[in-house]
Each structure stands twice: as C-alpha cells, then as structure tokens.
C-alpha cells in the first residue's frame, strides 16, 4: 500500500523502517493508525510512505532530513500513539533509520 509518494524523492533522503508484531484485537489501533497517516502526510519534509501487514507489519516513511524525522518523533500526537503502541498494540517492534543514497527499479 502506497499512502503518499513524491516525484521529488531523489536520493539522498532518509527512510524510517518500522516493523512490528501486533497484539490480538484492534483496541483502537485502526482509528489511531488512520489519524497518524493523516497527520504524517501534513508534516514538512515528509516525502512518502509504504506499508504492508501480515504476521509482521512493515511501514517505511521517507523523509528529506534527519531533522524532519526528529520533528515527527517529537510530535505530541505521535508520542501519544507511540505510548499506546507500547502499552497495548504491539508485542514487539523495531525502528531503523537509513540514508538512501541510490535507488532503482522499473
């Protein structure tokens, strides 16, 4: 699923890779997930996002700079969602921040 992409996404940019294993039940996750998608798309220097979920969920968000990633991490609504994720939505998660120097595809 591609939520937003940008034609201006030319290397060098940054990717935040979030992988997770969910707990059973929704517990408000769906509503918060929709809100976070809406909110992140409005952030300055946000370039795009791709996500997929099966047994393991993976979301990759693309950012113009490390500073823009830090600004998103410090967003109060996002911090609240992170807290709820830790408390009730995920049995485990992992975050990786990568610098994209090159890309190709067809």
Question: How many Cβ atoms sit within 10 Å of the Cβ of residue 7?
Answer: 7
pLDDT value, residue 106? 80
Does residue 41 lie in a domain region? yes
Only one residue has tokens 């998660």, namely 93
For 22-51, letters b (16+ CB in 10 Å) and e give beeeeeebeebbeebeeebeebeebbbbee
Residue 61: exposure state from Cβ atoms within 10 A (0-12, 13-18, ≥19):
buried
Structural domain count of the chain: 1
Percent of the chain with pLDDT over 70: 92
Does residue 1 lie in a domain region? no
Does residue 5 lie in a domain region? no
Does residue 4 lie in a domain region? no
Q: How confident is the model at residue 105 (pLDDT cuts 50, 70, 90)?
A: confident
Over 70: is that where the pLDDT of 4 sits? no
CATH number, domain with residue 78: 3.30.70.100
Does residue 3 lie in a domain region? no
Does residue 47 lie in a domain region? yes
Over 80: is that where the pLDDT of 8 sits? no
Over 80: is that where the pLDDT of 38 sits? yes
pLDDT value, residue 104? 85
- CA dihedral for 64, 70, 76, 77, sign (positive or negative): positive
* The overall pTM is greater than 0.85: yes
Please give the residue range of the domain that contains residue 44.
12-100
């Amino acid at each position: 699923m591609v939520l937003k992409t940008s034609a201006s996404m030319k290397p060098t940019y940054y990717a935040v890779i979030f992988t997770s294993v969910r707990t059973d039940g929704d517990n408000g996750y769906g509503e918060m997930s929709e809100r976070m998608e809406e909110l992140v798309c409005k952030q300055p220097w946000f370039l795009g996002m791709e996500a997929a979920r099966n047994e393991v969920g993976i979301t990759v968000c693309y950012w113009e700079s490390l500073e823009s990633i830090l600004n998103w991490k410090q967003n109060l609504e996002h911090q609240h969602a992170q807290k709820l994720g830790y408390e009730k939505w995920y049995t485990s998660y992992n975050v990786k921040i990568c610098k994209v120097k090159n890309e190709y595809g067809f």
